[in-house]
Amino acid sequence: MESASEMGHEFEAEAGYKFLGCGASIKLKSGSTANIGGGVSYGSEWESGQSTEQSVGFILNDDDVGDNYCTRVYADPRWGTPIFFQDSGSISSDPWEKGTNKAVDVTMEMVKDTEGRFDYHEGAHYKVKLTYTGQRKLESSGINFLLYDTIADNKDGLTVRFNGNEGPFMVELSKESPNATIVISVYPPEVDQDNSEEKQYSVNIGVIEEADDQIGRSITLNTKFADMRAPRAIITSPYAGQRVSPALFPVDDPFKVKVVSGDMDIASIQLQIRSKQPDGVMEPWQNLSGMKWEGTNTAVVTLFEYLDRVPLRREFTFKWTEAEIKVLGVGEYSLRAVAVDKATKPNTDLDPPDVVFLVDESKPSVLCSIPDYQASEAERIYRGELSVLFTDDMRAMDFTDRTFYVMDLLNNNEKVAGYVSYSPALRKAIFVPIVPFTPYGFYRVEIKTDEEKPDHTIEQGVHDLAGNPLDNAFMWTFRTKDAPFEQVWSIGLSVTDGISLDGNNIAGVEYGATDGTDEKDAQSVPGMASQMRLSYLNKQRQGFDRDIRPADGRLSHHWFFVIDNAKRYTTVTLSWQPSLLLTKSTRQYQTMRLVEFDANNNVTNNIVLDPSQVKINPQTGEMESTEIYSYVNKGELSRYFRLDVQKENFVAKSFKKGSSGWKLFSVPVTPQRAEPFVNLGDDIDPFKLYQYETKLGGYKVYPLDIGEVSLQTRYGYWTQIEKDVEVDVGGASNFNDMELELNFVGWQAIGNPFILPVNVADLDVREGTSAAVSFDQAVAAGLIEGTLYRWDIVTQEEAYASKVSISDSYEAITNSSKLEPWEGYWLKTKKPNITLIIPAPPGIGTATVEMPDSFKPPRAPRLNRQISMSPSPQFSFCVEVFSDGALDRSTILGTNQEAKPGQDALDSTEPPVMGQTVAAYFEHSDWGEAAGMYNQDCQPAMDVGEQRTWQLTVYTDKPNALMTVSWEKAIRQVPSDIMLSFRKVGETTWQDMRQTNKVEFTSDTRLIELKFEIQAERIKKAIPLALAGDTLAIALLSKPIPNRGLVSL
């Protein structure tokens, strides 16, 4: 037998450089071969028996295990039979032959064998260590082994995972990395996963070499499963952080604690609670008495199963009554649900999740609002946002236009429909009307709280998150201007005298600006003494290059400016550059003009400004500077102007505050809008308007009687002011005769509808459909009384300058007086269906409106007015009544040649008495239909020896007030042949009124009436006799001498 082997090798290398197939290189080759052969011959002496001959093939190969070679037969008698298999050093693999050493081998051992039970849902998990123990060593890779579970041995249908993967699972081992640890997970069948009983399962795990299944190991896992997972119940209501109010959950509607769970084998659920102590530490958990579910529904807890959901859901509802919550008290609490399952050995949830909630019985309130409810009525203007901020977190679902209720007070109190949203982050509710608010509207907002109805039902309002209702229904009013967002605009002025130029002087309105000096204004920079400049002026005569006013929707804006140091005898040209918005026909401010003043501050010129004539620069898109006025400087250093920007034409008046604060007034134009606040509310704050209703004998008060009081020309109104104010009313001047229907008998509050005074004597009166008669004829016919009354204001300065105490009081107005613009008057009608015709005064068509001092130079103070008496008096006597802050100085008695017994045209009825004041009047219950109180009582003239008597009543509703009834000034003007005496009603002693000129007393009750009798008697004058040698001189006076002290003759 011969054997041989041949080995060889060849090496080739190439060096050089080639690029895109071009270049130079050199190749080197080397190699060698080796032959090994041997043979042996056996002679016939070795042979025995029958011999046969057969050709056999052999393969000699290196199996990389040391230097051992293995020879195998590749032909008969059997393929792969080792030739030297009985040698002790023989090694075989892939496949391994019994009787030889294993070139590849592996061991498997359990590293972590978790004893005891495993949970059905969590599975059983083992760690197995594989170790390579073979002698074969491969240079390029390791040996692959496969892990698997035997299907035949997995009769229970367990699920086996190797490192989370299905089997077979391949693991590579080698001499360098002989070990691998594998996690084997075993899960019970799906049908057994909800089993609450214990059960043992068995599965066989094996490992084999990928190339030879003879090389392998196996182990058997005996796994015991049980329900070991604690059940879990989660509280969903109350939610974490929720506030709970005990006041809202009576027995018939308790607070509901909701608990959910996905476990179907729950045996019981117990609610537990603990509270936070003052030091911040939570108390130990305690069971809530009666709050336990044990498999069946009770009056306290019910179960509802959602079997159609995946995963399944079970909802437990525990009912918590008001009494049980109140036992807890106000504070912070933690609540949890402890669940126990039905397992053979029951599992308890030892650490269930909890929710922290608060028991809160404090009611929320409104913190602030937009418009601001705390602002004055004039400042509560809607500017695009209507909202409310609360002091607590509120329930968003409570907010609708039913609970955020907006009412249109000028439209029959109609509800305004709108959308309401609530922001939890800001605690803010916002109302947006579906239809925009109407211009110049008046609205009331009510944030509703819970209210019990007569049928004992509760109308729900808004609540905080605890369920506490708003502390009180919250209401406030607001107004709208002509637009929710005021337009912002500016006007630039420039001036030149042909030599110098001063430009970019800006007047305008912006949000956030104020009427005073602020950061939006720019004062004028000091210039050269002779430098021409234009400056806006404030009331303190400070100069500004920019004067910005607030964009607050006011009726008009006015700027004073001055042009200084223009060169003499030059033409001074003034130009303007309005912003684009002012050129639009839809602009809010339609009227613009320039008013020029002379050196005495008298108006000399009015220049109408038309912004539509201003051109736009096509390159810049800005308005071009346009000339508006020019004049020749004839030597003055300064020229003053006023720039007016108005929404409409208007009249203005300064109302002075008197001692009482009351003002009886009228308006001399027909207001463009009759709503009182639109005209006066931004000027008088707080603002109330009193409209006298003759039929009612009382007042309608705005805004309390909203919709029933309107501001109209021809009528008089009362208002109260706390300081001197300047009012303006937009509207059209009246140029024709005006009529006023006075349908009911009694006092009528009237006014002058013209900007010029009207003579009382020029008034005409018409009864029903009869012809009109003059004022005097109407008085003679008994249609009206001949005396009107106005409320005379005494300012603080006038009261201080007076030597005696004076205050506001009525002033009698006769046919010789005038009805002044802006004044209100009392007129008494004696017959129904009277029409008062107020004639247009002469020159009304060309008259200019008289403006307050802020629009023109100051004027001199007025002169004191004297009481106008009827003609041909025998004597007249004024009784004054005054106390601190109140005065009545219009009560007059006397005699007259034209007077008649009883009531006549010379008698005047007492005007309506104001509250918190004093009054004196003559009471006549003996005058039949004319019975009543009279302010002026004139009786027939007396002959010598005749007497006249008056019943005087003094009234006040000021408690604890020191009152004085005085005639000190009037007695000095009474003729010396008239003796005047007085006494209190009920007394017998008369006192001489020339000796006692006043009476003082204190009102000891809230209302007091004191009655006096005044008696006048005419006596014969004594003619003095002349002594011997003397000459008698008699001074004959046609009328009494005014109070001027002693008179020397």
The answer to whether residues 442 and 522 belong to one domain is no
What's the CATH number where 165 sits?
Answer: 2.60.40.3590
In terms of Cβ atoms closer than 10 Å to its own Cβ (0-12, 13-18, 19+), residue 512 is exposed
The reply to whether 577 falls in a domain is yes
Tell me what pLDDT residue 37 has: 58
For residue 952, the enclosing domain spans 873-1018
Do residues 645 and 592 lie in contact, with contact meaning Cβ atoms separated by under 8 Å? yes
- Does 375 map to a domain? yes
Token pair, residue 57, equals: 């093939």
The SS3 assignment for 928 reads: helix
Does 322 share its domain with 448?
no
Q: 1023 lies in a domain?
A: no
The residue that leads in pLDDT, 861 or 425, is 425
Buried b (16+ CB within 10 A) or exposed e, 577-592: bbbeebbeeebbbeeb
| pLDDT digit string, tens, across residues 268-296 | 999 999 999 888 899 999 999 889 999 99
Total tally of structural domains belonging to the chain: 7
What is the model's pLDDT at position 13?
55
Q: Are residues 222 and 240 in the same domain?
A: no
pLDDT in tens, 560-614: 999 988 998 999 999 999 999 899 888 889 999 999 998 888 889 999 999 989 9
Highest averaged pLDDT of the listed ranges 34-48, 141-155, 821-835: 821-835
Cβ-based burial of 127 (10 A; exposed 0-12, middle 13-18, buried ≥19): middle
Q: How far apart are CA 737 and CA 753, in angstroms?
A: 9
Question: 501 and 461 in one domain?
Answer: no
For residues 711 and 691, what is the distance between their CA atoms, to the nearest angstrom? Answer: 9
pLDDT digits (tens, 9 = 90+) for 81-131: 555 444 556 677 777 777 677 888 899 998 866 677 888 888 889 999 999
Query: Mean pLDDT throughout 376-383?
Result: 86
* pLDDT exceeds 70 at position 371: yes
* pLDDT at res. 817: 94
Tell me the per-residue pLDDT of 996-1011, one tens digit each, with 9 for 90 and over: 888 988 877 777 888 9
Listed residue (361, 380, 375, 136) closest to 246, CA to CA: 361
Question: Is position 1048 within any domain?
Answer: no
Q: What is the distance, to the nearest Å, from the Cα of residue 98 to the centroid of all Cα atoms in its chain?
A: 96
* 306/1023: higher pLDDT: 306
pLDDT at 40 over 60: no
Q: Identify the band that residue 402 occupies on the pLDDT scale cut at 50, 70 and 90.
A: very high
Task: Quote the pLDDT of residue 10.
Answer: 57
Nearest residue to 715 via CA among 814, 788, 820, 824: 824
Pair (743, 840) in one structural domain: yes
Burial of 225 (0-12, 13-18, 19+ CB in 10 A): buried
Q: Considering the chain, what percentage of its residues have pLDDT values greater than 90?
A: 43
The winner for highest mean pLDDT among 316-325, 480-489, 592-601, 664-673 is: 664-673
Confidence of residue 559 (pLDDT cuts 50, 70, 90): very high
96 and 122 assigned to the same domain: no
Who wins on pLDDT, 880 or 190? 880
Last residue of one domain, picked from the residues 192, 226, 260: 226
pTM listed for this prediction: 0.59
Q: What is the pLDDT of residue 379?
A: 84
- Confidence check: pLDDT of 512 > 90: no
Could you give the percent of the chain with pLDDT greater than 70? 85
The residue among 855, 881, 907 that closes a domain is: 855
Domain-located, residue 556 = yes
**For residue 854, what pLDDT is reported?**
79
Last residue of a domain, one of 177, 197, 226: 226
Instruction: Say if residue 331 is in the same domain as residue 386.
Output: no
- Does any domain span residue 952? yes
**Residues 208-221: what's their mean pLDDT?**
88
Residue 956, C-beta contacts closer than 8 angstroms, at least 6 positions apart: 883, 886, 917, 918, 919, 963, 1003, 1007, 1008
Section 958-984 average pLDDT: 88
The answer to whether residue 248 scores a pLDDT higher than 50 is yes
Q: Please state the three-class secondary structure of 964-1019 as a single string.
A: EEECCCHHHHCCCCEEEEEEECCCCCCEECCCCCEEEEECCCCCEEEEEEEEEEEC
User: Could you tell me if 444 and 327 lie in one domain?
Assistant: no
Mean pLDDT within 637-661? 91
Q: What is the CATH number of the domain that holds 281?
A: 2.60.40
866-894 pLDDT per residue, tens: 444 444 567 888 999 888 778 888 899 99
Residue 945 pLDDT class (50, 70, 90 cuts):
confident
Confidence of residue 238 (pLDDT cuts 50, 70, 90): confident
pLDDT for 16: 59
Which tokens sit at 308? 């159609």
- Looking at the structure, tell me whether residues 126 and 24 fall in a common domain: no
Alpha helices in 763-891 (DSSP H): 775-780, 796-801
1029 in a structural domain: no
Q: Is the pLDDT of residue 1026 over 60?
A: no
Residue 862 has a pLDDT of 40
> What does residue 426 show for φ and ψ, rounded to 5 degrees?
-100, -10
Contact 275, 347 (CB under 8 A): no
Q: What is the mean pLDDT of residues 887-907?
A: 87
Look-up: residue for tokens 């929707």? Answer: 553
Residues 834 and 976 in one domain: no
Distance CA 153, CA 159 (A): 12
pLDDT band at 8 (very low <50, low <70, confident <90, very high): low
**Residue 783: pLDDT above 50?**
yes
How do 101-102 and 179-187 pair as beta strands? unpaired
* pLDDT digits 0-9 by tens, 77-95: 444 555 544 455 667 777 7
Which DSSP string corresponds to 675-704? -HIIIIITTSSS--EEEEETTTTEEEEETT
- Inside any domain, residue 283: yes
Cα Rg of the chain, angstroms? 57
824: nearest Cα among 737, 719, 729: 719
Same domain, 705 and 844: yes
Report for 4-18, 113-127, 425-439, 926-940: range of highest mean pLDDT: 425-439
Given a contact cutoff of 8 angstroms between Cβ atoms, the answer to whether 974 and 948 are in contact is: no
Q: Which pLDDT score is estimated for 816? A: 93
pLDDT band at 856 (very low <50, low <70, confident <90, very high): low
Distance CA 929, CA 921 (A): 18
Same domain, 350 and 374: no
Give 490-500 pLDDT, tens digit per residue.
999 999 999 89
